[in-house]
Homo-oligomer: A and B are copies of this chain.
Amino acid sequence: MSKLKVMVLGATGVVGQRLVSLLAEHPWFEITALAASAKSAGATYGESIAGKWHTPHIPSRIADFRLRDCVPGEDVRIVFSALDADVAGPIEEEFAGAGYIVCSNARNHRLRPLVPLLVPEVNPDHSALLKDQKYGEGGIVTNPNCAVSGIALALAPLHRCFGIKRVAVTTMQSLSGAGYPGVPALDLLANIVPYIEGEEDKIERETKKILGTQKKASAIRMSAQCARVGTAVGHLVMAAVEFQRPVSLEDAQAAMTEFRPLAGAGLPSAPAVPLHLSGNPFRPQPVLDANRENGMAVTIGRLRYDSAFGLRFTLLVNNLIRGAAGGAVLNAELLMTRGLLT
């Protein structure tokens, strides 16, 4: 079976590099073009990413690609977008209008009613919205904000089984979530910055859209506080959850442990177990747990009874893989199995 041709927009950034790395070895997809902002265009991909922090391994075949401009015209079916939000909006629309399926990591279109905001284990049926879009054969699907990717996944089985009323989350987000060059070292040296512009609103809105129906966001009341901390990869989240009715710890544990909605679906990037519950109270930790199941699984720690709210737990999500590049690839795999790429 021949592979489906794909392209990556914004290929040189921290997320773009991971997208290229994941797609370079993908069993279903084949990268045939890479694009970036005009200032990189014309250089080879390898030259463009050299020296930009911690670049993943890129096969030389792909490192030799010349970077294109971000304009339609390539013979590909899927366009993965890791563009910055300040340019992603119109470029992604232009590609969709030209008949491409855009799998975007950018925030620009996530909250539009007809744009699926997908976590394949949670709301795969939202993908059907793609057909209602105005772009003909093209369309846009999105994956959520890096922190939301883990939060929505962790809340989904609890909400499905018991009905969530309110959630308070506090996030401790890694430096790579701010891209490269990102945060100045002086600001985070032995320090924490207790604010990330726009992040809390994204967490509150996106989580509700994902946990809702195709037509309507969930009525869960979400409250988020976000801090930037001096870790490299992996967003740590502490969550307090209030339910519509009392929930026992055992039932909550069972709901999370048994949550394997993609079992048997055959998506190559899907983790075998999306939520790993750790019994060690000192886990999860960014350094130790970010790469669980190649960065696609979320680790849950200290799930416990809370007399004030109901339940509390800690979660860790790999913000570059599950929360960005891997999420976009998993979305494309979902579209593939649902026949939405034909």
Contact = CB atoms under 8 A, between A and B. Distances in A.
A285 B192 contact: yes
A309 to B, nearest CB: 5
A131 to B, nearest CB: 33
A192 B221 contact: no
Contacts of A111: none
Contacts of A166: 308-309
Contact of A180 (B186, B191, B192, B222): B186
A302 B170 CA distance: 14
State the copy count for this chain: 4
B231 A227 contact: no
A54 B288 contact: yes
A186 B190 contact: no
Nearest to A187: B53
Interface stretch (A73-81, A141-149, A276-284): A276-284
A51 interface: yes
A180 B301 CA distance: 24
B168 A308 contact: yes
A237 B216 CA distance: 34
A240 B172 contact: no
Given A170-B238, A189-B231, 18 more contacts: A50-B280, A51-B282, A53-B187, A175-B186, A176-B186, A189-B190, A190-B232, A191-B231, A191-B286, A194-B238, A194-B284, A194-B302, A194-B314, A195-B301, A197-B281, A221-B307, A223-B240, A227-B238
Interface of A: 50-51, 53-54, 166-168, 170, 172, 175-176, 180-195, 197, 221-223, 225, 227, 229-232, 236, 238, 240, 280-288, 301-302, 306-309, 312, 314
